[in-house]
Structure 1
């Protein structure tokens, strides 16, 4: 027995030793790829010395005599800190993820190949102006210089991820940067999913008047009545539309889920509304959270002056930020830049489709998708005159596509003459608002509201191509329409001066929270779908609540967590429930309902992470919406996974008969809206008890509303995920200015998955007092202290200085890299 015990001890000791040695080996190999920020390196591709000063937060300040060398330095720094992120984005744009990840990404690769994004990016290279092309080439040379350094010096393959996946690093090319912009455009575009959902809901509802309730228009002047989808596509199946489709948002799924496309806040005040006497600008673009963040802070010293702000690795431009004379911020404009078209197949030859002049051949090309754990597959890319043919799995398109038809997509980003990169570069060099608006005429997609401020002027301009539609378009772009009818096809683009523009308004303040900005009649309209009907109310109140503003008041607005939706809806849905409960014993559902109502009665709508009321409110509204729509929509109700405040308000105010949603059609009784509110509250309290315990007073919204910054690939790996994923308790919610869009999906429907990955506030009375922050850190390497250091500040609502003073950067630098011509 002693001998057995002794050998067991030896084996256990040996196993522990092996584990320790293995861990040390993994750490050693991974740490080899940690970048050294203090060095002197000779490289090819520059004409003079490039100095890269990293400040205490890891932000690179790049100096050189020639602009080309500055862009080289930016490419080098991006590759130092975010090489894996860049290569993953390039593979996404090329439709080559399955070479690394196998069958899980075949659907994503197939869609990207059918859209042909990378081919369009390559075709667009020659359309850039000479300065932009030179910058793209210099940036690519900087990325490749870092790749050469990794290969020649055995620097851990450049990133830990390359020890797990294919370590080959093909050279970066100018087309790769343009392809990254197109991938971002896809992630920021939400009209495709809205069209499909509207069509499916139209087919599912027996009462066509109820479509305006569940998919309401933002209040304003009315729009012309639309046809039912069934009249546009007579063969579409109601039963198929009701069936749940494949889920989006899975592993490396590039398509944004409904409600999780682009968002953002931006506002500016001119000198008359500023306490300092200078203009003010604030911006916080909202994107899906990840580790590392999509944003990378950088400063470049160009011949036109210094620029500083948020860059996206792979793109050689400051996308949001400021120069010495100009600040710029972006928000998703919600311009309707996508249309779906039904394409009728020739019954005698399915390689042809109907056009206004007869049958035409599809434009086709074979494409081979290599798969790491399976045989390659070959797909056939098909394009019509309206655009590429999409697979039926995209947002469950197959459920609304009649037999003998396919669906194609018209989209402004599907351009082989895309000059968005040129527009971004010229915006960065602009000296004032007027020049910035003129430079942005070249911008194509994704459409944005560009908020600007120089020393004297503030403005907002919608940039991006606006499709020209015929006045007699059958669905006005809101539903898939027959592509063989001339009136449904795009008629080119509207002139740039048709894009909404607001310069130095009388009130002195401009801004956007993805709200409706214009109410022009179709076809000169911007959109029927908008991203916000709630945040704008709080923003307007905060902006008009002060005669003058400061940098700190703009920060206060960025971090505001009061929900106007909660303040509007709670008095409506609880009108007949407040203080009307009968006496009930402790622990009974009636007693818990009364406790919940008592808490909510004293609540001011602040979505504070330390409070229980936001969780009770959110769970109640979620349960209420599900009860209202489930009997009408069946499984399709799962697609409405976020509360729509305008829908709830229409129902409880019985606008145009919307109160009919409260009656459960399949029950004998006639339920009232008060009945549904009470039942939904009980549902919510049961769910809360199962998920968070039975003590309502001890609930904390932040425990449910954790910001989820997951590594896109390693975040699923056991043990390793605890090192690479970042989780933070956060305030805010779907309808607060400090927006933290919830996942909407069980088992964690209130996790914060889409928020402001970048925040910046700029004061042109004292530009170097400007501040900014990102949601994680500068480095994509999980062993770096800069992997999550900024995330701690971001969570607490803090910022770091945004200064163009080189001495300040050098005073607290963590390293200086000097690149010299070889």
Structure 2
């Protein structure tokens, strides 16, 4: 059985007194404000189950938001604050001047004055929710004086508009920090090729989402797989319910007041990072005019807008200092670098109010029609959506913010900003983008691959859409998913789980035979004799991972070494990496890479015959956002490897300074399987545990389940939660 239960624990008394003395108030908090927070706390109940997961109930939606963010802060305030330090452009206030370029990048879009104006004009219901969000965080700080924020000592409701989608990174991260520093750092604006700091990271970030129609399930109900691949501990698992129709369960990115990937009693949604091109760069011909800087556009010129940005940063002596930058923008967007003597303007979606509306309202959708109506706000630029509901409908939506562009231009490169034909011409209608509703094959998948295999033979056709609708192409996970989903029509929750953890790696099916061919072409020699035994293991391998698998170890170490021989532009195409390694490296390179991999294994582990589970490890020692690792500390074997090679279950691991073992920091994070019958039921597992506090029993209590691919029951309904209540309380108690 792949279902586990924990024993019930006694509930605490519901009427615990609130510890809300005025002495708890911060210097910025008045007694009237504390009184208002106390009143709202009385309208909220938080129930912690025996996995530490918070089930929040509020009288109104705003009350539920208040309790939801309060519970998140209890679990990991550090991650909440850090997310907003990043999104607001205030990270240097905590981490010093080195972070100032990341802050400048954020402030090119997230100007406090602009966000405040947008908040003031927002719908009243959204202002109420953001006010409750800020109140919940401020109430937490007021009642937890031992929690010391690094920089944000008070949250304001408009701040929620800086972080609205919940996805990994965001479009803004495509602005190269080194290039931005070269342009605005006073070191000259001529720029050849500048790479971002931090080195190369090929590990896939994205997710898997499957929707199965009732026709392909044993029980006649739609099923949904929610399988985000993110950095670990990136989201909290919560249930949030109100008397106004809110009842959503799933993963909420730390600091946000909506369930980003999850389900409600009638519908579920899974987001995967999309390959649609929605971010463009425009080459601007800037010149000095009598009245200031201007740039060419068509037959005329336009003024370059300027905006001073002042950033605070923590100096080496701990005091606060400031730096002010004069930033520039055209009608295409802010200037982010220079190329070939021209300035480069960056264009992306910037609809913070609409994005926050869409992210929240879709959690209350009860069927595809209502979900799609919310999507008409067209404020999701980065995520595909896989959907299922209790009516038996399954659907796929491409991102809804997709600029209409002239197909004569190649928008994968900077385009001529002086040519008006290159300008964006509005946003595509939802029906203009790849989409699916109830395909005849009875399933939908996306694995950060193109949408043109999302439903097998019933998929959208690439020829029907502009090239910019996808830049990813197919990947090994996509081929894996299509082979699994098309092979059966009797899916259950258990069989859906088995599919999500199927151990086949089709990338190695492509790659390993090329090494076998290179080996077979060698003449008889001592070299061939030395390689015969490991090559025999690879030749007979079924390309499946397991903790005991030695061929998995050899193949992963070999491919890791072989990547060094691949040109950088091909290495960056992660979806096609197995094919490019097979075709774009020579037989000699493949054999040398194998020898180097075997020598490395012998050097670091004492033998090349090392089972994969002895190398690939999960370890969580501290609550730090950047985790430390040690071979001397306890860790857990994880059988599934990187998704690069086609494994659907993903574990992005590598060695760190002072370690030989590889430790994971990304991949499977929150994973859930959901059945939409007359009564929704679900199972889930999260990496590590719910709490960011190493002293909490829920810091690492799911680690072994995670490594085993074992799911625990989700206590969605009150009768399921009964008997599993560890604590029942109100915020502040």
Q: TM-score range by the shorter chain?
A: 0.7 to 0.9
Matches within 5 A, 1:229-628: 240-241=192-193, 245-248=195-198, 259=202, 262-289=205-232, 292-304=233-245, 306-346=247-287, 351-374=293-316, 375-391=321-337, 401-402=339-340, 404-412=341-349, 414-415=350-351, 418-455=353-390, 456-473=392-409, 475=410, 477-518=411-452, 519-521=461-463, 524-530=466-472, 532-578=474-520, 582=524, 584=526, 589-628=527-566
- State the Cα distance separating 1:358 from its structure 2 match: 3.5
In 2, Cα distance between equivalents of 1:706 and 1:274 = 35
Change in 2 beyond 3 A, CA 1:38/1:328: farther
Matches within 5 A, 1:104-123: 104-116=98-110, 121-123=115-117
Provide the residue aligned with 2:693 in structure 1.
781
In 2, Cα distance between equivalents of 1:581 and 1:769 = 60
- Indicate conservation of the 8 Å contact 1:337/1:466, yes or no: yes
Offset from partner CA, 1:777-798 (integer Å, 9 cap, x none) = 2222222122222233212212
Change in 2 beyond 3 A, CA 1:691/1:718: closer
Q: CA RMSD in A?
A: 3.5
- State the Cα distance separating 1:711 from its structure 2 match: 6.4
- Indicate conservation of the 8 Å contact 1:424/1:443, yes or no: no
1:644 maps onto 2:577 in alignment: yes
In 1, Cα distance between equivalents of 2:464 and 2:521 = 48
- State the Cα distance separating 1:183 from its structure 2 match: 7.7
- State the Cα distance separating 1:271 from its structure 2 match: 1.3
Provide the residue aligned with 1:684 in structure 2.
597
Change in 2 beyond 3 A, CA 1:190/1:86: closer
In 1, Cα distance between equivalents of 2:72 and 2:304 = 41
Provide the residue aligned with 2:684 in structure 1.
772
Residue 398 of structure 2 aligns to a residue whose secondary structure is strand
Provide the residue aligned with 2:725 in structure 1.
813
In 1, Cα distance between equivalents of 2:14 and 2:90 = 32
Provide the residue aligned with 2:51 in structure 1.
57
Change in 2 beyond 3 A, CA 1:352/1:706: farther
In 1, Cα distance between equivalents of 2:632 and 2:419 = 55
Offset from partner CA, 1:787-817 (integer Å, 9 cap, x none) = 2222332122122222322243242212111
- State the Cα distance separating 1:118 from its structure 2 match: 5.3
Change in 2 beyond 3 A, CA 1:811/1:685: same
- Indicate conservation of the 8 Å contact 1:280/1:453, yes or no: yes
Offset from partner CA, 1:66-117 (integer Å, 9 cap, x none) = 2322222112212222222111111111211111111332221222223436
Match of 1:88 among 71, 82, 88: 82
- State the Cα distance separating 1:539 from its structure 2 match: 0.8
Change in 2 beyond 3 A, CA 1:637/1:264: closer
In 2, Cα distance between equivalents of 1:563 and 1:36 = 51
In 1, Cα distance between equivalents of 2:285 and 2:637 = 50
Provide the residue aligned with 2:675 in structure 1.
763
Provide the residue aligned with 2:8 in structure 1.
none
- Indicate conservation of the 8 Å contact 1:49/1:819, yes or no: no
- Indicate conservation of the 8 Å contact 1:125/1:178, yes or no: yes
- State the Cα distance separating 1:775 from its structure 2 match: 1.2
Residue 507 of structure 2 aligns to a residue whose secondary structure is helix
TM-score, reference length from structure 2: 0.83
- State the Cα distance separating 1:581 from its structure 2 match: 6.2
Residue 148 of structure 1 aligns to a residue whose secondary structure is helix
- Indicate conservation of the 8 Å contact 2:237/2:249, yes or no: no
In 2, Cα distance between equivalents of 1:137 and 1:40 = 25
Match of 2:36 among 4, 28, 44: 44
1:176 maps onto 2:119 in alignment: no
Runs of 5+ unmatched residues, structure 1: 1-34, 197-234, 250-256, 392-397, 652-660, 663-672
Residue 725 of structure 2 aligns to a residue whose secondary structure is coil
- Indicate conservation of the 8 Å contact 2:629/2:663, yes or no: no
Provide the residue aligned with 2:184 in structure 1.
none
In 2, Cα distance between equivalents of 1:553 and 1:188 = 36
Offset from partner CA, 1:562-605 (integer Å, 9 cap, x none) = 21010122113322424966364xxxx54442222111112111
- State the Cα distance separating 1:55 from its structure 2 match: 0.5
Offset from partner CA, 1:428-472 (integer Å, 9 cap, x none) = 111112211111222413422211111221111123301111132
- State the Cα distance separating 1:503 from its structure 2 match: 0.9
- State the Cα distance separating 1:381 from its structure 2 match: 2.0
In 2, Cα distance between equivalents of 1:543 and 1:266 = 12
Residue 296 of structure 2 aligns to a residue whose secondary structure is strand
In 1, Cα distance between equivalents of 2:419 and 2:541 = 54
Provide the residue aligned with 2:651 in structure 1.
740
- Indicate conservation of the 8 Å contact 1:70/1:301, yes or no: yes
- State the Cα distance separating 1:638 from its structure 2 match: 8.2
- State the Cα distance separating 1:690 from its structure 2 match: 3.2
In 2, Cα distance between equivalents of 1:373 and 1:331 = 39
In 2, Cα distance between equivalents of 1:38 and 1:545 = 54
Could you say which structure has the higher helix fraction?
1
Change in 2 beyond 3 A, CA 1:639/1:482: same
Runs of 5+ unmatched residues, structure 2: 1-11, 21-34, 180-188, 453-460
- Indicate conservation of the 8 Å contact 1:468/1:523, yes or no: no
Provide the residue aligned with 1:702 in structure 2.
613
- State the Cα distance separating 1:482 from its structure 2 match: 2.1
- Indicate conservation of the 8 Å contact 1:38/1:815, yes or no: no
In 1, Cα distance between equivalents of 2:617 and 2:575 = 17
In 2, Cα distance between equivalents of 1:132 and 1:592 = 68
- State the Cα distance separating 1:645 from its structure 2 match: 1.6
In 1, Cα distance between equivalents of 2:696 and 2:14 = 12
Residue 78 of structure 2 aligns to a residue whose secondary structure is helix
Offset from partner CA, 1:227-268 (integer Å, 9 cap, x none) = xxxxxxxx999xx54xx734236xxxxxxx665574111111
In 2, Cα distance between equivalents of 1:189 and 1:258 = 18
- Indicate conservation of the 8 Å contact 2:689/2:698, yes or no: yes
TM-score, reference length from structure 1: 0.75
In 2, Cα distance between equivalents of 1:141 and 1:353 = 45
Offset from partner CA, 1:362-404 (integer Å, 9 cap, x none) = 222222222212553222222111111115xxxxxx6xx21x3
Matches within 5 A, 1:26-45: 39-41=16-18, 44-45=36-37
